[in-house]
Amino acid sequence: DTAVSQTPKYLVTQMGNDKSIKCEQNLGHDTMYWYKQDSKKFLKIMFSYNNKELIINETVPNRFSPKSPDKAHLNLHINSLELGDSAVYFCASSQAVRRLYEQYFGPGTRLTVT
């Protein structure tokens, strides 16, 4: 009965590789997000989708590409991984009408690039 789930939980990979993180929510929300949390625990939004449409695209390198096959799923694909991409990536979701900012977070994916 997990609300927002992400896979994998941990991801260790080498520089230059391509990897994907998957996110699913079963809350019936129509808006989903990707956040990045750095080593100092600072949380910053990267992308958001509403009903499969890209709404927010922060200044994120083009190597990061989100994809939303339907409103319950939002995946993050990262090309040519760099050392600086190491961080924890969180998926979140919310309901656009009236509760847009009450966002529910997944457990996170810890990405380590070596």
**Which residues of the chain form contacts with another protein (CB under 8 A)?**
4, 31, 33, 40-45, 48, 50, 55-56, 90, 92, 94, 96, 100-108
Cβ nearer to another protein, comparing 15 with 96: 96
CB of residue 97 vs another protein: minimum separation in angstroms?
11
CB of residue 90 vs another protein: minimum separation in angstroms?
5
CA distances from 39 to 89, 98, 110, 112 (A): 11, 33, 11, 11
Give the list of residues 6+ apart from residue 97 with CB closer than 8 angstroms, or none.
Answer: none
User: Can you point out the beta strands (E) in 19-108?
Assistant: 19-25, 31-37, 43-50, 53-57, 64-70, 73-78, 87-95, 100-105
Cβ nearer to another protein, comparing 103 with 113: 103
Place of tokens 């319950």: 72
CB of residue 106 vs another protein: minimum separation in angstroms?
5
With contact defined as beta carbons under 8 Å apart, do 46 and 64 qualify?
Answer: yes
CB of residue 88 vs another protein: minimum separation in angstroms?
9
Cβ nearer to another protein, comparing 12 with 15: 12
